[in-house]
Amino acid sequence: MGSLLSADGGAVRIPLTSNRHDYGTPQVLFDTLDAEFHFTLDPCASPENAKCKKFYTYHDNGLVQDWSGEVVFMNPPFGRDIRLWMAKAYREALNGITVVCLIPARTDTYYWHEYAMKGEIRYIRGRITFEGMKHNAPFPSAIVIFRGLGL
């Protein structure tokens, strides 16, 4: 069991196991964040793991889609292209969109220093197990929040 540190210093328990076969966000983690933010778009989803009614798949390419007017929950692919997703999230925030990102807490990376550190960071205690995985992630995770900066 892990826990998400909330903005007020409290913690929400997150299960570290799942019996699902896709690689989505743990539902309890999403539900906790959704209760706070009321998400309308999941730009990095598959039909099997989408967390919002409106979502973009790999083929839709959420990087080139318009996120205007949305409140976004983003669990991007954790490969090299994560920097592109973080850049998109930050750009959208500059246009007034709130984007909440579930990402690896890789504090030594370009995307962390260039983008994540410009948002509100909530570290997740413990290592979560994504839906469909038998074991917890081999890396720590964090929630990065860009609150519609509108600059």
pLDDT digits (tens, 9 = 90+) for 125-138: 988 877 777 777 76
> Range of 142's domain?
2-146
Q: 86 lies in a domain?
A: yes
Q: Total structural domains in the chain?
A: 1
| pLDDT value at 46 more than 50 | yes
In the chain, beta strands by DSSP E = 2-5, 11-14, 41-42, 54-55, 71-74, 98-104, 120-125, 141-146
Contact indicator for 146, 99 with CB cutoff of 8 Å: yes
> What is the three-class DSSP state of 110?
helix
pLDDT band at 15 (very low <50, low <70, confident <90, very high): very low
151 domain residue, yes or no: no
CATH, residue 43: 3.40.50
Would you say the pTM of this structure is higher than 0.95?
Answer: no
Q: Render pLDDT for 79-111 as a digit per residue (tens, 0 to 9).
A: 889 999 999 999 999 999 999 999 999 999 999
